[in-house]
Amino acid sequence: MALAHLTGDPILLDMSVEQTPLRGGAFLSAQLDPVHHEQVRRRAIELAPGFAENTGAARGDAELRAMMTAFLGRPLTDGEFRLGREQLCVDDFPRAAHWSAGRPAGADDLGVVIIGAGPSGIATAVQLERLGLRYTILERQHAVGGTWLLNRYPDARVDVNSFQYQFTFEKNYPWPDYFASAADVRAYLEHVADRHGVSARIRFGVELTRASWDERSRTWHLEVTGAGGDGDGTGGPASVEHIETQVVVSGAGMFSTPKFPDIPGIETFQGRHFHTTQWDDSWDPAGQRIAVIGNGSTGVQLMPRLAEAAERLYQFQRTPQWISPMEGYKEPISADDRALLDGIPFYWNWFCLKNWAIGMSMEAAQTVDPDWVARGGQVSERNDGLRATLTEIIRQKLGHDPELFARCVPDYAPLARRLVVDNGYYDAILRENVELVTDGIVAIDETGITTADGTHREVDAIVYAAGFQVTKYLYPTEYVGVGGITQEKAWEEDGPRAYLGITMPSFPNLFMLYGPNSQPRSGSFINAIENWARYVAQMIALMAERGIRSVEIRPEVCAAYNKRLDDESEQIIWLTEAARTRGRNYYVSEQGRQVANVPWALPEFYGMLAEPRLDDYLLTW
């Protein structure tokens, strides 16, 4: 398709494409029919001498749509085309917030404070920088990266392909690996912050502790604690500063508050112990007896590497996970792929789109197919296909030990919880120095961990890979909105809710990135952030253009949105399978409500975020 893009040659668009099922059909990959391969090779060789000079003609929407249709082997809805066009990254800044008619004078009066210099804070800042708006980022750590700064545990890396885990405005970033390591993601975020002029606007080592809305001035009053006299916690007592700002954008994220397991005696343990987000860099795991509690994405990712160093490693598993291997995981980008990405115009664009389209195809495996179930299936043909494929992978690895195999096969459908990705977990379980412990933990004492069968395992260190308190969205900041209502109070009765996952009644001019029900069904977190950041920046731009002092989501709009969201969630396996994972799946709250994800298909949800509708809001001037 890169050649078609470059040349406009219609023959290339007439070639047939096959839908190749991956992982039992849960994913589909559109691939060029092999009968055309030779012809494409010949054409590429013919054109190759001109690749360096040829930047190709700009293609209009009709041409791009025809190309995407041919590429994916199926017609696209308007929403899919709009989204796919952005993912193709043919524009300089595909998701830019914009002024209607140039930067207005009112833009000088509007100030924004962004909380957090993680991916959300940086993405918002890039938008505001482009609009020429005044903003400051407050970051409690001492470097950019957010979750990628905190998660420094062994082998921390993205489990979504790097070519999805990037902003659409950064072209052909030289990722070293197909699935970037935490250090590489941090370097990427630093690069973006530097290149777009954001770094200079970050204040490090300061934490927002309280934010209260002042009705009279229609501004937020922020209470900000400094880490110490010189900003790094070493130069004296913490200072408190008061800042007044019109708009607050919280990029605090969903995974910023660690969860420790609620186990009796946990505080008595005398050895090393820490949550995975508080990794102790001074700790050498070599020769140690180590307990890892938790086998979610984090535990599964770090355990194999720790096991290589440990004398003995106990992997505590309360619930088995569905774990999928991934092609190219932990592998550097091949020289061939790098040559294609760098050498053929538009190859990178279509490579990115392909990765995105494969990810999006997974959404179909998340819903229950009643006909399939009536015919004796469990969820749907594609979900059951994934289950069979992943079960077979466990069988191949552990099938020689039926008891171990049985302990590792989940009793709930794949995708009911987040699919865990790893290529080495089951091999690590089989190591002589590793024991998979599935008896429940009843206590921790000074020297180790006791399970329900009465066994006490002595350990030198405990690693808590127990996840996050995902419903504590803005924690530890206390937000106080209209009439003195706290955010905690606003969510007390019904749990966390927001409009589009971004904003909530009684909290004007406050926008959350990665708020309640904002995690999309597929695609990468970075793409989601871009969509949220555009929405928020566009809203701020509208405020500046029209002289709007405050925007507050109308309670009835927020309530109706949440009703639709809850109704739609009923169709998806997060809820249909919730009974099987009750209290053990962060997608669903203890009250049984799905609180983390967006139930709509990606094009539909991102369509809702494309442009703010002022009619949804109470406005003051």
Torsion of CA 69, 419, 426, 394, to 10 degrees: -70
- Report strand pairing: 17-22 vs 27-32: antiparallel
Going through 143-234 in order, the beta strands assigned E by DSSP cover: 202-204, 206-214, 219-226
Q: Least separation, in Å, of the C-beta of 418 and ligand NAP? A: 4
Q: Least separation, in Å, of the C-beta of 262 and ligand NAP? A: 6
Q: Least separation, in Å, of the C-beta of 196 and ligand NAP? A: 24
Q: Least separation, in Å, of the C-beta of 132 and ligand NAP? A: 34
How far apart (Å, rounded) are the C-alpha atoms in residues 603 and 611?
Answer: 14
Classify each residue of 187-211 as buried b or exposed e, where b means 16 or more C-beta atoms within 10 Å of its C-beta: bbbbebbeebebbebbbbbbbbebb
Task: Pick the closer one to ligand NAP by CB: 26 or 323.
Answer: 323
Task: Pick the closer one to ligand NAP by CB: 251 or 299.
Answer: 299
The dihedrals phi and psi of 74, each to the nearest 5 degrees, come to -165, 155
- Tell which residue, 365, 370, 409, 524, has the closest CA to residue 21: 365
Task: Pick the closer one to ligand NAP by CB: 349 or 450.
Answer: 450
Task: Pick the closer one to ligand NAP by CB: 159 or 369.
Answer: 159
Q: Least separation, in Å, of the C-beta of 295 and ligand NAP? A: 4
Binding site residues, ligand NAP, CB under 6 A: 157-159, 255, 261-263, 293-299, 301, 316, 318-319, 418, 441, 465-468, 584, 586
Which of helix, strand or coil describes residue 14?
coil
How far apart (Å, rounded) are the C-alpha atoms in residues 450 and 122?
Answer: 44
Task: Pick the closer one to ligand NAP by CB: 118 or 607.
Answer: 118
- Tell me the C-alpha to C-alpha distance, in Å, between residue 332 and each of 149, 177, 271, 474: 22, 4, 37, 36
Task: Pick the closer one to ligand NAP by CB: 398 or 539.
Answer: 398
CA angle 236, 238, 239 (to 5 degrees): 110
- Tell me the C-alpha to C-alpha distance, in Å, between residue 383 and each of 363, 374, 388, 389: 10, 15, 9, 10
Q: Least separation, in Å, of the C-beta of 157 and ligand NAP? A: 6
Q: Least separation, in Å, of the C-beta of 82 and ligand NAP? A: 26
One DSSP character per residue, 331-388 reads -BPPHHHHHHHHHSTTHHHHHHHHHHHHHHHGGGGGB--HHHHHTT-SS-HHHHHHHH
DSSP state of 281: T
Task: Pick the closer one to ligand NAP by CB: 54 or 319.
Answer: 319
CA angle 263, 266, 271 (to 5 degrees): 140
Rg (alpha carbons) of the chain, rounded to whole number: 25
Task: Pick the closer one to ligand NAP by CB: 103 or 584.
Answer: 584
The residue assigned the tokens 């109706």 is 560
Q: Least separation, in Å, of the C-beta of 442 and ligand NAP? A: 10
Task: Pick the closer one to ligand NAP by CB: 119 or 505.
Answer: 119
- Report strand pairing: 289-293 vs 312-316: parallel
Task: Pick the closer one to ligand NAP by CB: 84 or 414.
Answer: 414
User: Is 346 in contact with 2 (CB distance < 8 Å)?
Assistant: yes
Task: Pick the closer one to ligand NAP by CB: 345 or 467.
Answer: 467
